[in-house]
């Protein structure tokens, strides 16, 4: 019989991962959400049991995905006492997909092992459509044998495993994600300066954007953000506030190791300035508002 699957946290990401696994033939047997009406709706759709307690999820599923929002929520679902996923968890496997502080993954791995369960960090570098289509970029941290055991299942979420990566011990996948976002934010802020200066020079911006995309200046963010920067179209996919937070996590890791990271620091300062102007809810492309001449955040 195929592995049964539980989900803790069925917001947009979790629910779509669950739908994808259901489509691929897995039985989603248990669903829990901090907002119980959400759990009820998703459970009804997927034929799962809507759980009111975390211990029920553990009782009803072999592999349990947790897709929660932050450090506090992640710690709460693995609480040492009271209602917890760790209740009678022997033989269960937890796959923890939240972006949280790396050290928490190690804590959870230890606590799960004490309960006779396995724990894997599975850090996502993609968004809702990729969750639904099974094309997530999935970076994993934890014990290698556990990763290998879960490969067929995780492959259903990650292009048949083509975008599934084993990074290292628990917590390292989150470190890599922080570095990815740090570098992405730098590329984004740099692109905004290039396009903003092009605008100040009176250059034809669609041409400039094309040239950037075809030369040494090429980057993923030229494809995803340049047109939005030019058109001031900053509908949020990944918020400026989130960008500031992730660059901050990376800078903190750097400080702890005595590293001098001036480009990352200048980028963080720009995103902080955007947040300070009350524009933190814009997409990360909103950084262009600080550099294009005449826009709200531009200054001399």
Interacting residues toward a copy of itself by CB under 8 A: 125, 137, 139, 163, 165, 167-168, 172, 175-176, 179-184, 186-187, 189-191, 193-194, 196-198, 200-201, 203-204, 207-208, 210-212, 214-221, 224, 238, 250, 253-254, 257-267, 269-270, 290-291, 293, 298-300
Contacts of the segment 125-133: beta carbons below 8 A, 24+ positions apart: 125/177, 125/180, 127/13, 127/237, 127/238, 128/12, 128/13, 128/16, 131/12, 131/13, 131/16, 131/17, 131/20, 131/157, 132/16, 132/19, 132/20, 133/20
Tokens representing 239 are 């918020």
Residue 195 contacts residue 292 (beta carbons within 8 Å):
yes
**Do residues 158 and 137 lie in contact, with contact meaning Cβ atoms separated by under 8 Å?**
yes
In the three-class reduction of DSSP (H, G, I as helix; E, B as strand; rest coil), residue 163 is classed as coil
Residue nearer to a copy of itself on the CB measure, 161 or 254: 254
**What tokens were used for 243?**
């960008």
Give residues with Cβ within 8 angstroms of 145, minimum separation 6: none
Nearer Cβ to a copy of itself, position 17 or 199? 199
């Amino acid at each position: 019989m195929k592995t049964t699957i539980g989900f803790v946290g069925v917001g947009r990401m979790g629910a779509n991962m669950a739908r994808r696994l259901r489509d691929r033939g897995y039985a989603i047997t248990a669903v829990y959400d901090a907002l119980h009406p959400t759990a009820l709706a998703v459970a009804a759709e997927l034929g799962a049991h809507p759980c009111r307690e975390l211990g029920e999820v553990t009782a009803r599923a072999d592999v349990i995905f947790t897709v929660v929002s932050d450090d506090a929520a992640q710690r709460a679902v693995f609480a040492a006492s009271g209602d917890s996923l760790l209740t009678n968890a022997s033989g269960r496997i937890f796959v923890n997909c939240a972006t949280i502080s790396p050290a928490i993954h190690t804590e959870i791995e230890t606590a799960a092992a004490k309960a006779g369960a396995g724990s894997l960090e599975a850090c996502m570098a993609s968004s809702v459509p990729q969750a639904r289509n099974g094309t997530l970029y999935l970076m994993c941290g934890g014990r290698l044998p556990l990763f290998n055991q879960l490969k067929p299942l995780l492959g259903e979420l990650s292009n048949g495993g083509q975008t599934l990566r084993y990074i290292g011990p628990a917590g390292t996948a989150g470190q890599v994600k922080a570095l990815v976002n740090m570098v992405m934010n730098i590329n984004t802020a740099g692109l905004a300066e290039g396009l903003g200066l092009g605008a100040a020079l009176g250059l034809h911006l669609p041409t400039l954007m094309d040239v950037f995309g075809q030369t040494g200046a090429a980057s993923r963010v030229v494809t995803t953000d340049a047109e939005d920067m030019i058109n001031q179209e900053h509908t949020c996919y990944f918020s400026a506030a989130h960008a500031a937070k992730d660059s901050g996590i990376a800078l903190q890791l750097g400080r702890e190791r005595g590293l001098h990271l001036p480009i990352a620091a200048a980028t963080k300062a720009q995103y902080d300035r955007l947040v300070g102007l009350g524009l933190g809810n814009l997409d990360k492309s909103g950084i262009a508002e600080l550099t294009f001449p005449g826009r709200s955040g531009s200054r001399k």
